[in-house]
A and B are shown apart, each in its own frame.
Chain A
Amino acid sequence: MVESDSQLVARTKCGDQQAFAELVRRHSGLVFRLAVSILGREFIPEAEDVAQEVFLKVHHAIESFRSGSEFSSWIYRITFNQAVNLKARVRFRSPHADERALYRAVTTEPGPERQAETAQRDQMLAECIRTLPEVYQSALRLYYWLGAGVGEVSELLGVPENTVKSYLHRARQLVHAMLIEKGYSCD
């Protein structure tokens, strides 16, 4: 029989490391995806550090976790805060990967001029996304880049599905308006 998260938490509280290892196995992927969605594709090693730090924090604070609460919501909230704090610190550091290079690698437009134009527009798009509120950025990256459905985004951000839809709608509107303002078309 598969044990629930709360049963594993109770066993971890009694000092069972196997139970904690199972919690890590269950949640590490989503914790990492959430961290990546907040930090962006230039800071993937930092997202890995966030995932590790989150589990160390959770292990340290597991005694204070109330058994009636949802473990996943708790851990995703810690991840969100940890990633946002780290983002504020690494904002002025040079990123590991140049976003332009990443975009150029996937540009399939014919002709060098058209390719350069597309790469420039994509770079501008990335810059526009970076100016959005954290939850909008995270929702956009989870949905469009990491391929998460609305349900998964809602679970990771701890908001109802309708709120996720409204985040995505508002984020698209804002990005569209910013691109138009900078003289780029979206078609």
Chain B
Amino acid sequence: MTDMEPRENGIDSLLRRSMAVPVPSLPPDFDQRLMRELHQRSQVPDRYRRILLTGYGLISVVTSAVVMRGQGLGWGPVAVTIFGPLALVVAVPWARRATHRKMQHSDG
């Protein structure tokens, strides 16, 4: 209850009376529909992102290999120079996620 001046009682009860209509609520399947919508929205950009990244990755690997071989490097150093950074790109986020999960478990 809020603090009210006596002359506010009339308008207070009028507001109560006229606003005494059913209170709406969200449909019970709201959560499921939302998660479906979220899934659909995230799928399309994800697919394009994956295609673009794969294409870019393949072109970079081939170009780098051709250039380095042209400079007289052997297949061993070429493979290390190309796949080393790629392995790091994959490993770093994975390690971060694993550390985060471990910290959460130790907090709980």
Contact = CB atoms under 8 A, between A and B. Distances in A.
Partners in one complex: yes
Interface of A: 1, 7, 10-11, 14, 17, 20-21, 24-25, 28-29, 32, 36, 41, 44, 47-48, 51-52, 55-56, 59, 102-103, 105-106, 121-122, 125-126, 140-141, 143-147, 150, 164-165, 168-169, 172-173, 175-176, 179, 185-187
Contact of A24 (B4, B16, B31, B100): B31
Interface in B65-97: 97
Given A47-B24, A145-B21, 17 more contacts: A11-B104, A21-B35, A32-B25, A32-B26, A48-B26, A52-B33, A52-B37, A56-B41, A103-B21, A125-B15, A165-B3, A168-B2, A172-B11, A172-B12, A176-B8, A186-B10, A186-B14
Interface residues of B, number: 33
Interface of B: 2-5, 8, 10-12, 14-16, 18-21, 23-27, 30-31, 33-35, 37-38, 41, 97, 100-101, 104, 108
A138 to B, nearest CB: 13
Contacts of A21: 31, 35
Contacts of A32: 24-26
A14 to B, nearest CB: 6
Given A41-B24, A48-B27, A176-B10, A24 B35 contact: yes
A41 B12 contact: no
Contacts of B16: 144
Nearest to A180: B11
Contacts, number: 100
Contacts of B14: 121, 125, 186
Contact of B34 (A55, A121, A126): A55
Given A140-B15, A186-B10, A51 B108 contact: no
Contacts of B100: 10, 14
Contacts of A48: 26-27, 30
B2 A36 contact: no
A169 B23 contact: no
A56 B37 contact: yes
Contacts of B27: 48
A29 B21 contact: no
A52 B33 CA distance: 9
B105 to A, nearest CB: 12
A85 B78 CA distance: 56
A146 B26 contact: no
Nearest to B20: A106
Contact of B25 (A29, A165, A172): A29
